[in-house]
């Protein structure tokens, strides 16, 4: 699905590919302006 996403870059990842651990505490994530919340549609 990443190939269909807007604003994809070299470091883009799907959120389901990120394992949340304590090592990521404080991580800042940017979301492209073109992103849409499909649950609101």
Q: What is the DSSP string of 4-33?
A: GSTT--TT---GGGPPP-GGGTT------T
**With contact defined as beta carbons under 8 Å apart, do 35 and 8 qualify?**
no
**Residue 12 to residue 9: CA distance in whole angstroms:** 5
> What is the average pLDDT across 24-41?
74
Mean pLDDT of the chain: 76
Q: Does residue 41 register a pLDDT over 60?
A: no
Specify the pLDDT at position 26: 94
């Amino acid at each position: 699905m990443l190939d269909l996403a807007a604003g994809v870059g070299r470091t883009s990842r799907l959120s389901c590919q990120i394992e949340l651990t304590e090592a990521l505490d404080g991580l800042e994530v940017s979301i492209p302006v073109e992103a849409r919340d499909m649950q609101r549609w």
